[in-house]
Amino acid sequence: MNEKTKKQLIGAGVLVVIVVILAFSCGRKEEKPTTVQTPKAVLTSDQRAVVLTALGGVGVKEGSIIELGIDATTGYLRVTIELADPVSASYLKSYATTALLAVRNAMYQKGVTDSYSVQLRGPSPGPGLVSWYGTALFNEGGSVSWEPAVKP
């Protein structure tokens, strides 16, 4: 093997090594660990009792609770409450926020989820119709937000 052939083989070998290194470094993405908890599909009877007790403690009547559970898509612990006659927009926001914080504080140590939602709705205005007033939301590490169904 002559000197020129040796240099060509070494050059080709270096080129192959560079291509392999680039392929591995470009093809791989660093996976970041996630802190999102996988939601459980259903609340246990004990967990439901904790939530109902917390809501009762802030004046929410059990008969007004239409939905209580974990949303399998979003992971939110969702409570839907029907109010017969809301007083004002500020009342709706205060009512939903108070209920939301009661649920969050009662369930915080249970490790069920880190996302909470309280939806307020009114009586049905007709068959198949629903009146939505708004939704209070909270994610751990964030703040409570109020999303009114109708923006002022």
pLDDT at position 8:
64
Is this model's pTM higher than 0.85 or not? no
Higher-confidence position of 109 and 86: 109
Higher-confidence position of 12 and 120: 120
Domains of the chain (ranges; CATH) run 45-148 (3.30.70)
Across 15-29, 35-49, 73-87, least confident range? 15-29
- Region 36-51: mean pLDDT is 76
- Region 53-75: mean pLDDT is 92
- Region 83-100: mean pLDDT is 91
d(CA 24, CA 13): 17
pLDDT at position 132:
92
pLDDT at position 23:
58
pLDDT at position 135:
96
Tell me if 112 sits within 8 A of 70, measured CB to CB.
yes
Percent of residues, the chain, with pLDDT higher than 90 = 51
